[in-house]
Chain A
Amino acid sequence: MAKVAILFDAFKCTGCRGCQVACKQWWGLPAEVTHNTGSYQNPPRVSANTWLVMEFREVDDGDGGARWAFRRKACMHCLEPACVSACPVGALHKTAEGPVLYHGDRCIGCRYCMIACPFDVPTFQWDKGLLEGAVIQKCRFCSDRLSAGLKPACVHTCPTGALEFGERDDLIAVAEARIREHPERYVDHVYGKEEAGGTSLLYIGPHRFEELGMPQLGPEPIQEKTEGIMTKATPTVLVGMLVGLSGIYWVVKRRQEMMGKKRG
């Protein structure tokens, strides 16, 4: 199965935020009232009206100074998405092509997807009342553009080639080749290759990923434990309790009857 992905090369990124603007333009997302967080980064995080934010951090350049470090913050389109597993009504699903998509007409607004996501990505429309109908919002991997044979808006607009679109396996090979070729430029790690079972967003760059605020995740999917509980423990407890309690009731009743007979 051909799975698409986006490779973000932080070494090539200039922090122009063209991707952020292109995303807003393509999806017609309104501007939001925001506040200064002490850096060029704006707004402070992804929200219902901003699905992609370039995060700006200052990191030690190892020479007594500081350098910008950029991180693309948007849906990672996990191969085994915790949000999809967490949604009680199946409003989220992983498509065969790669994007994780959301169907607002099913959503009950429980926000468990927001809690479950290890990347803190799904956002909610906090300002919508009952009649407007609040929904969850997040990056859609421009699935409409993909089906028309176009690249995602963010990749299309990136002027330096820091964002690349392609098949996941090919992009992993590109990323690893680039690290081999220029070990002085890159940390020897393709973030997203294995994290949380793998993601459709792949990151390489000059800074350690913890420094960019990216969670350190193991190779197992986030939902491994909950799915084990739901598919194994829950049915076992259900049957065990029904049988066990019925048994206890029967034994207790028998014993009381016997004692009653003895006395009577």
Chain B
Amino acid sequence: MIRGIALRRLSIPPAVIVLLGLMAIGAVVALIRYVYGIGAISNLDDSTGWGLWISFDLLCGVALAAGGFVTASFVYLFGQEQYRPVLRPAILTGFLGYLMVIVALMVDLGRPERIWYLIIFWNYHSVMFEVGWCVMLYTAVLALEFSPMVFERFGLEAPRRLIHALIIPLAIAGATLSTLHQSSLGSLYTILPDQLNKIWYTPLLPLMFWLTAVAVGPAMVIVESSISSRVFRRGLELDLLGGLARVIPFVLAAYAAVKIGDLAGSGELDMLTKWNLASGLWWLEMIGFVLLPIVLFSLPAVRRSSTWLLFSALLVVGDVVFSRFAVSLINLSRPDFSVRYWPHPMEFAITISVISAGVLAYGLVARYLPLFVEHAPEPARK
């Protein structure tokens, strides 16, 4: 092997070029928005004040970042030390997820330069007040939980030890803030008793949003580990992921119970027998994205197969996306002219650009920081 050849060319992988290109498109679109207003790049209007960015970038983005607090709680609080190898990637996914949410909000907010007003002007009756504070505080917690990777890389012993000493309070704060944040995104929609379809409206929305976030936490760890093991050609911690997956059926079952119990409690179960968009979506979610993953994750054969594990985890991710869109967009009817909303291509451009930035940042961290630690037992099986 010849080492240290002087003529090494700087080669940028094609994937990075594609990601940078997508980010550049998003940057141009954002520039148009900052000059000409949100209307110039979106199909949002006075009848549809919130669209793709809120439904996907905010609601799904925050939920899909739940792997961070779920895994941190497992390892630090519940004594499940064996999950330590997947902890750092989970923290990173959560941290990047929250940063992506904030970047997207800087496009969606009407006055992004005033986002810090949340700190000085308080209306604690507003759910949005809770949402804003949770985003700020939990992003700070995630940054601290992530920071040891940087400190290790640059050999900064003192700050690393400081964070190490604070890690239990951080984990407790992280899980608490996440619970408040995940649930408050559901609470946002409890102010719409007359506009959200009766099948989908319930004062228990915060509980439902939290339960699905807890379920998707392990699922996101599975998805993210499966992808990174392929991309970075490292071993897959199949035994660990299979263990994490055992939790998911219980959480999803609780979610299904709350969903059915809520309709039964308010005497609205018969609405499910009338065939329409709202009831059809309810059945589709319940069977395809709740019952199916419950069955799949309960099967040992599924938990031992990397492919089936990934597929089942993607179903849970699908449930989060499905249910968030169902509540925040599809089953919402405005009292005015029924304007049908479909996101403008430039809205998609922003969303895709933010995702690209997240993927690129993950790749950079995986390349330059100690993200993956050695995990000895049981190598990956195909």
> What residues of chain A have their CB less than 8 Å away from a CB belonging to chain B?
44-48, 82, 85-91, 106-112, 114-116, 118-120, 123-136, 213-217, 222-223, 225-231, 233-234, 237-238, 241-242, 245-246, 248-249, 252-253, 255-256
Contacts and interface: CB of A to CB of B under 8 A. Distances in A.
Interface stretch (B20-28, B176-184, B231-239): B176-184
B195 interface: yes
B248 to A, nearest CB: 20
B77 A245 contact: yes
B128 A112 contact: yes
B346 to A, nearest CB: 13
A8 to B, nearest CB: 17
Contact of B337 (A44, A108, A116, A134): A44
B47 interface: yes
Interface residues of B, number: 63
A222 B191 contact: yes
Given A245-B77, A249-B76, A86 B39 contact: no
Given A116-B191, A215-B194, 15 more contacts: A88-B131, A106-B117, A108-B110, A108-B118, A109-B111, A120-B46, A129-B35, A129-B37, A132-B37, A134-B38, A135-B110, A217-B194, A238-B180, A245-B172, A252-B79
Given A85-B125, A223-B125, A223-B191, A256 B172 contact: no
B353 interface: no
A87 to B, nearest CB: 6
Contact of A115 (B49, B114, B132): B49
A17 B361 CA distance: 56
B39 to A, nearest CB: 3
Contact of A108 (B37, B50, B117): B117
Interface of B: 33-40, 44-47, 49-50, 73, 76-79, 109-115, 117-118, 121-132, 168, 171-172, 175-176, 179-180, 183-184, 187-188, 190-195, 203, 206, 334-337
A119 B334 CA distance: 9
Contacts of B193: 222, 225
B191 A123 contact: no
Contacts of B40: 126-127
A45 B336 contact: yes
4 smallest CB-CB distances across A and B, nearest first, come from: A109-B110, A126-B39, A88-B128, A89-B121
Contact of B127 (A128, A130, A226): A226
Contact of A111 (B49, B175, B187): B49
Given A86-B127, A226-B187, A252-B79, A46 B46 contact: yes
Contact of A118 (B33, B50, B114, B195): B195
A42 to B, nearest CB: 13
Nearest to B132: A88
Given A111-B110, A134-B111, A249 B47 contact: no
A234 B130 contact: yes
Contacts of A124: 38, 46, 49, 110
B110 A89 contact: no
24 contacts: A45-B47, A45-B337, A46-B46, A88-B123, A90-B122, A91-B121, A106-B121, A108-B114, A112-B127, A115-B49, A116-B192, A118-B194, A124-B49, A126-B39, A129-B33, A135-B111, A217-B194, A225-B190, A226-B125, A238-B180, A241-B172, A241-B176, A248-B78, A252-B77
B10 to A, nearest CB: 36
A132 B45 CA distance: 18
Given A118-B194, A238-B176, A225 B49 contact: no
A132 B34 CA distance: 10
A223 B124 CA distance: 13
